Amino acid sequence: PYDDGSTWYLEYNLKNDFLANKKIRQALTMAIDKEELGSILQAMGKPAYGYVPGFVQGVDKSFRDEAGDTFPHYKPEEAKKLFAEGLKELGLEKAPKLTLIFNDQGNNKKIAEYVQEKIRKELGYDLAVESLPFKERLERMTQKTFEVVLAGWSGDYNDALSYMDLWVTNGGNNHTSYSNPKYDELIVKAKAEANAEVRMDILAQAEKLLMDEMAIVPTFFRNKKALAKPRVKGIQVNAFSPVVYFGHADVQE
């Protein structure tokens, strides 16, 4: 297995009054056990406790190692408490219907159904799920006609900024409508900063802010599998293009 460079997450549409409540987002998030999900995905994904994948470079180590965990682990009792508090703040006795949409490919159905069942078990809330063709899922995201969506992102280059700049105000891939002037300011600073250590610290601050606000829920970093004959040596598999590099490959007799 190799890391294919993608982070998979749930996006909450913050234009939805129910999901605009942070405690509701926290509750839905903390009801999901990523270790349990990881065991379901097996070799196809690693639990994500941050947004930027583990292979992305930092200064001396990976960005993930240097930033640490920035997202909460499974906390079912806290989730129940927050869900009740969120409903009270909104003046609701019962939560409105929400639907999680996903495209009908790969492990997406398995992931959506796991999230649905876990939230039902821990919060007593029936999250609906809906499978869509890939193009329709993208259209719904672009038009922001969804409540929750399972989506993913692969960076264009080996740097945390290739992931972090999605979530600036009015960003083209920011389907959540998340907007925080502090986050925007940090991304602008990171783009202008020449000192590598200072820059990585700024990006780590931005990730911690994004994860605290929970407009998105990182679920797993995707892995893929590749096979090679034992006598073929030197093949390099990368998260970025070229994914498979044969420049140093050799066939041994």
Angstrom distance (rounded) from CA 243 to CA 22: 38
pLDDT tens over the chain, length 253 residues: 556 678 999 999 999 999 999 999 999 999 999 999 888 876 567 889 999 998 899 999 999 999 999 999 999 999 999 999 999 999 999 999 999 999 988 889 999 999 999 999 999 999 999 999 999 999 999 999 999 999 999 888 899 999 999 999 999 999 999 999 999 999 999 999 999 999 999 999 999 999 999 999 999 886 545 555 666 665 555 555 455 545 555 677 6
Q: How far is the C-alpha of 228 from the C-alpha of 243, rounded, in Å?
A: 14
pTM for this entry: 0.87
Cα gap 163→159, rounded to integer Å: 8
Q: Would you say 57 and 63 are in contact if contact means Cβ atoms under 8 Å apart?
A: yes
Q: Which residue type does 50 have?
A: G
**CA–CA distance, 252 with 232 (Å, rounded to integer):** 6
Residues with Cβ < 8 Å from 186, sequence gap 6 or more? 202, 203, 205, 206, 209
